[in-house]
């Protein structure tokens, strides 16, 4: 059992989501930074899709009532476990009664906390992810509150003395949107040709800022106005995380994990799946730049991301074998 001591409603239980229900009007959901949650789980020997906690509002503090192992990934934030400071992307043991504290990030926006064995909550439509819009999944379909208690699955997790870290080169090289814009690779969407040449040039040739109207459903951007060649009326159609829609204001909206399943605004582009974690870690006010790529490049980027997770699985299995043997 863990007890939530300090939190905010944007902090929720998440796993890798519930794909396959768009036709029923149910978002995929799941962790905004799915790679970070998957790796946190793998560091503890869990299935990548085990349920953990996504932290978007800091400080966040919890206390376990049993000895457990935890892994914290995602944003670069100060981590204090039982009074001991830990580096980012770290797995460590925490004793019953000690506290885990995450403070405001130095870079990034969201942290993922995984627990050995995962959180023990009832799955809804095959997932424990919180769907706040629908009011289901996670802990009663809502954000976490002070005093909440969450059950844990029992699992052993041998870790080296002092803990275990992970390092990803692209994470270390990623910008934070302050000193330099965050680059996002995009593919043209269905209505790309309905926009003017000036809009095409502005979309990829200028910078965009994330406004305060930003949450798990999507980010509204500010920048140059994107105009259509002529007025366009569309029936609502399916959309997915990464879809860049342009409402009548001409200011784009990027749909994210809890995106609506359909919408009628014209679509100019789609952020490739391999870059969605960059959006998850982009705070309000961050600057973005869109970079067009081919479908082949987008597919290769996704293949490499999955290959990286496979490498973590192999390393985890090797490490576990050595610890059992020694």
**DSSP H or E stretch at residue 124:** none
- Judged against a pLDDT cut of 90, whether residue 177 lies above it is answered with no
87 confidence band (pLDDT: 50, 70, 90): very high
Residue 23: the pLDDT is: 86
Mark 208-237 as b/e (b = at least 16 C-beta within 10 Å): bbbeeebbbbbbbbebbebebeeeeeeeee
CB 92 within 8 A of CB 81: yes
Structural tokens at position 53: 């906690």
Residue 175: the pLDDT is: 61
The second-level CATH assignment, the architecture, of 182-293 is Beta Barrel (2.40)
Report, as an integer, the average pLDDT of 158-168.
Answer: 84
Report, as an integer, the average pLDDT of 239-246.
Answer: 95
Average per-residue pLDDT for the chain: 92
pTM, whole model, 2 decimals? 0.93
- How far, in Å, CA of 11 to CA of 13, rounded? 7
Q: Average the pLDDT over each of 71-80, 140-149, 167-176 and give the range with the smallest value.
A: 167-176
**DSSP H or E stretch at residue 12:** strand 12-14
Distances (CA, A) of 87 to 77, 95, 204, 207: 8, 18, 36, 32
Domain spans in the chain, listed from the N-terminal domain onward = 2-171, 182-293
Residue 238: the pLDDT is: 85
Helix, coil or strand: residue 204: helix
Sign of the dihedral through C-alpha 312, 100, 106, 284: positive
Residue 125: the pLDDT is: 95
The rounded radius of gyration (Å) of the Cα atoms in the chain is 20
- HSE (CB half, 13 Å, CA atoms) of 98? 18
Residue 309: the pLDDT is: 83
- How far, in Å, CA of 50 to CA of 153, rounded? 10
- What tens digit of pLDDT does each residue of 54-80 get? 999 999 999 999 999 999 999 999 999
Beta strand spans in 127-260 (E): 149-150, 164-165, 182-188, 208-214, 218-222, 237-238, 243-245, 253-255
- What tens digit of pLDDT does each residue of 192-211 get? 999 999 999 999 999 999 99
- Judged against a pLDDT cut of 80, whether residue 178 lies above it is answered with no
- Judged against a pLDDT cut of 60, whether residue 171 lies above it is answered with yes
- Per cent of the chain over pLDDT 90 is 78
- Judged against a pLDDT cut of 80, whether residue 179 lies above it is answered with no
- Per cent of the chain over pLDDT 70 is 94
Distances (CA, A) of 192 to 21, 62, 155, 187: 27, 46, 49, 10
How far, in whole angstroms, is CA 175 from its chain's centroid?
16
CB 292 within 8 A of CB 203: no
Report, as an integer, the average pLDDT of 171-195.
Answer: 85
What is 45-84 written as a DSSP string?
Answer: T--TT--EEEE-SS-EEEEESS-EEEEEEEEE--EEETTE
Q: Average the pLDDT over each of 108-112, 164-168, 212-216 and give the range with the smallest value.
A: 164-168
- Judged against a pLDDT cut of 80, whether residue 172 lies above it is answered with no
Count Cβ atoms within 10 A of the Cβ of residue 23 and give its class: 0-12 exposed, 13-18 middle, 19 or more buried.
Answer: exposed
């Amino acid at each position: 059992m863990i007890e939530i001591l300090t939190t905010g409603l944007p902090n929720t239980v998440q796993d890798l989501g519930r794909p396959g229900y768009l036709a029923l009007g149910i978002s995929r959901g799941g962790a905004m930074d799915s790679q970070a949650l998957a790796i946190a789980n793998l560091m503890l020997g869990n299935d990548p899709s085990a349920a953990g906690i996504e932290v978007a509002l800091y400080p966040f503090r919890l206390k376990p009532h049993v000895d457990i192992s935890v892994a914290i990934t995602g944003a670069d934030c100060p981590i204090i476990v039982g009074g001991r400071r830990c580096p980012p992307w770290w797995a460590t043991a925490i004793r019953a009664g000690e506290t885990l504290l995450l403070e405001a990030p130095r870079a990034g926006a969201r942290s993922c906390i995984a627990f050995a064995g995962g959180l023990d909550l009832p799955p809804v439509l095959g997932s424990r992810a919180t769907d706040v819009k629908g009011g289901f999944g996670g802990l009663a379909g809502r954000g976490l509150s002070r005093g909440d208690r969450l059950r844990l699955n029992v699992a052993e997790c041998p870790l080296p003395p002092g803990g275990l870290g992970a390092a990803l080169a692209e994470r270390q090289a990623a910008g934070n949107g302050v000193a330099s814009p965050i680059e996002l690779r995009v593919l043209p969407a269905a209505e790309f040709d309905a926009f003017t040449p000036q809009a095409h040039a502005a979309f990829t040739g200028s910078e965009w800022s994330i406004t305060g109207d930003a949450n798990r459903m999507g980010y509204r951007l500010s920048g140059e106005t994107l105009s259509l060649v002529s007025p366009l009326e569309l029936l609502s159609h399916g959309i997915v995380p990464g879809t860049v829609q342009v409402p009548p204001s001409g200011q784009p909206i990027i749909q994210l994990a809890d995106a609506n399943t359909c919408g009628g605004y014209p679509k100019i582009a789609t952020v490739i799946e391999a870059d969605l974690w960059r959006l998850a870690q982009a705070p309000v006010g961050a600057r973005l730049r869109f970079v067009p790529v081919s479908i082949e490049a987008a597919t290769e980027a996704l293949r490499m991301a999955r290959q990286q997770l496979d490498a973590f699985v192999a390393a985890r299995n090797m490490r576990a074998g050595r610890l059992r043997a020694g």
